[in-house]
Structure 1
Amino acid sequence: MQPQQEVSAWRPRVAGVVEVFHARFTAHAYPMHVHDAWTLLIVDDGAIRYDLDRHRRGTPGDTVSLLPPQVPHNGSAATPHGFRKRVVYLDTTVLDARFIGAAVDGPDLADPVLRRRVGQLHRVLSAPGDEFEAESRLALIGDRLRTLLRPRLQRAGATAARPGAGLGSGAGLGSGTGLARSLRELLDERAAVGLSLEEAAGLLQAHPAHLVRAFSAAFGIAPHQYLVSRRVSLARRLLLDGRPAAEVAVEAGFYDQSHFTRHFKRVVGTTPGRYARSSASR
């Protein structure tokens, strides 16, 4: 029997929402990757196990998982029959970067009020025309998230300001951290146009092997995985804009259509064509 897969992705006309992504997977496993936005995740069937900031996490019961932007994570089914999930990706106007450390420390929120509100938001987002209601429900969700996360900011040691809290920080992780952050900035700038490791080493005046080790140690993800993540994130935005997959492959920095499809499917769980068609059907 072939593994079952269902994917639907779209960008609603709701301020603060980058993307809505509904999926059912039985066998897909996400590699380590990052997102530019907050990932607000609920699982309707099955369960997901994932690693975030070098800690094993999961989605037990009726939790809501909040994965911060720029913090590497992976994911796979925790049950034999896979999982069904609904995700809404939110920009930092909904929840700002102060809460990244707090979310890293406890991404799985067992809060019935939040779970109900997120479910209501997805119901509204699935029916175009009720954007005002969606914005209202999103405002309540943002307020609830801040209420749940704020106590962590007040703990001794200021969790949110803890050095090394994921990819968004980096300070205090060792002598190679400054170099790692410089490489990250360079990869961000050159994600689409690309650069070689030798070129990066020359620009940063460091040995290539030292660059790779410093980046991986500081951020928990290899430089090439980070670069692919940034390219896939750009590709998702372009596909949701209605751009043809062949154009997106080139503009997002992939070598050709085959290269694009292979990496996109590994990170997203479906091909660029199916992803684009699911958006167009909306």
Structure 2
Amino acid sequence: MQLQQEVSAWRPRVAGVVEVFHARFTAHAYPMHVHDEWTLLIVDDGAVRYDLDRHRRGTPGGTVSLLPPQVPHNGSAATSHGFRKRVVYFDTTVLDEGFIGAAVDGPDLADSLLRRRVGQLHRALVSPGDEFEAESRLALIGERLRLLLQPRLELPGGHTASLGARTRHGIAGDLRELLDERVVAGISLLEAAGQIQAHPAHLVRSFSTAFGIAPHQYLISRRVALARRLLLDGRPAAEVAVESGFHDQPHFTRHFKRVVGTTPGRYACSAAVRLPDG
């Protein structure tokens, strides 16, 4: 089978939107990773399967998948045919963190109106000059998401229980705070264990159990997220490698490709063609 890869990424001038990412993959498999933002995903061709909060999920036809910030997930093609997807990453001004638990409980939303509105949003996002339309459509999407997720907040054992379980992390939460503070500079496991006063092996096991992702995977995904923002700002890949905490260019390229599905250079080029003149 011939491998196919098409990637286009950019940051539009639309309030609340952090990144737009369109891709076609036949064989790429995303490792466990996290995003700082909400991930709103539609699959136009094929299907994606993924794990979210230790549950196997998928994208049946016509659904919209909403993946919450800071919740680890992976992803791969459900068939050898691969998939074509369109993604909008938006911040908590569009949908606040109070809906994270509800989204974890049911990320795949089978709602025809929401699906139609997301498609309309993407059509506006690819057209320079249509930023006001995109902002309007994003506002309606946020409203629809809140309407769809709200009933789950009121169900016994739903949002409150799920979110509450994720907020009591003890030493795992302490390690995550350290990693968030030292995304670029990094920290050794022994130093972290000393600061938290826990055995290194126990610290690693506790983090992996609490968050469903190993500490090193979490740190790499945070560095890749920072690198994406810098590349979309137009920064050279060589500078981004250092400024996002990677050892060198090969180290940066290897991990970026594993998480994003393409090299930093190709990712940056896809963004550059959409930069406004002047």
The TM-score range, normalised by the shorter chain, is over 0.9
Letter in 1 for 2:159: A
For 1:137, the equivalent position in structure 2 comes to: 137
Tell me the CA shift for residue 79 of structure 1: 1.5
For 1:72, the equivalent position in structure 2 comes to: 72
For 1:201, the equivalent position in structure 2 comes to: 193
Letter in 2 for 1:78: A
| 3-state SS of paired residue (1:162) | helix
Tell me the CA shift for residue 163 of structure 1: 4.5
Letter in 1 for 2:23: A
Which residue of the other structure, out of 163, 167, 170, is the alignment partner of 1:170? 167
Q: Output the CA distance in 1 between the equivalents of 2:99 and 2:130.
A: 29
For 1:17, the equivalent position in structure 2 comes to: 17
Which residue of the other structure, out of 171, 174, 183, is the alignment partner of 1:191? 183
| 1:14-163 aligned within 5 A | 14-157=14-157, 159-163=158-162
Residues 7-58 of structure 1 deviation map (CA, whole Å, 9 limit, x = unaligned)? 0000000000000000000000000000000000000000000000000000
Residue 278 (str. 1) matches residue 275 (str. 2): no
For 1:242, the equivalent position in structure 2 comes to: 234
Letter in 2 for 1:242: G
TM norm structure 1:
0.95
Residues 219-256 of structure 1 deviation map (CA, whole Å, 9 limit, x = unaligned)? 10000000001000000000000000000000000000
Letter in 2 for 1:59: T
Tell me the CA shift for residue 170 of structure 1: 3.3
| 3-state SS of paired residue (1:23) | strand
| 3-state SS of paired residue (1:242) | coil
RMSD: 1.0
Tell me the CA shift for residue 2 of structure 1: 3.4
| 3-state SS of paired residue (2:187) | coil
Identity %: 81
Tell me the CA shift for residue 61 of structure 1: 1.0
Paired residues of 1:48 and 1:76 also in contact (CA < 8 A): yes
Letter in 1 for 2:25: F
| 3-state SS of paired residue (2:92) | coil
For 1:174, the equivalent position in structure 2 comes to: none
Paired residues of 2:94 and 2:139 also in contact (CA < 8 A): yes
Q: Output the CA distance in 1 between the equivalents of 2:129 and 2:94.
A: 21
Letter in 2 for 1:273: G
Q: Output the CA distance in 2 between the equivalents of 1:94 and 1:276.
A: 26
Q: Output the CA distance in 1 between the equivalents of 2:220 and 2:161.
A: 27
| 3-state SS of paired residue (2:167) | coil
Gaps of 5+ in 2: none
Tell me the CA shift for residue 161 of structure 1: 2.1
Which residue of the other structure, out of 202, 212, 225, is the alignment partner of 2:204? 212
Q: Output the CA distance in 1 between the equivalents of 2:120 and 2:161.
A: 34
Paired residues of 2:100 and 2:163 also in contact (CA < 8 A): no
| 3-state SS of paired residue (2:36) | coil
Paired residues of 2:30 and 2:261 also in contact (CA < 8 A): yes
Residues 57-95 of structure 1 deviation map (CA, whole Å, 9 limit, x = unaligned)? 000010000000000000000011100000000100000
Paired residues of 1:104 and 1:165 also in contact (CA < 8 A): no
Q: Output the CA distance in 1 between the equivalents of 2:163 and 2:146.
A: 21
Q: 1:48 to 1:197 in 2, by over 3 A?
A: same
Paired residues of 1:170 and 1:218 also in contact (CA < 8 A): no
Q: Output the CA distance in 2 between the equivalents of 1:53 and 1:165.
A: 14
| 3-state SS of paired residue (1:35) | coil
The alignment covers a number of residue pairs equal to 274
Paired residues of 1:54 and 1:220 also in contact (CA < 8 A): yes
| 3-state SS of paired residue (1:88) | strand
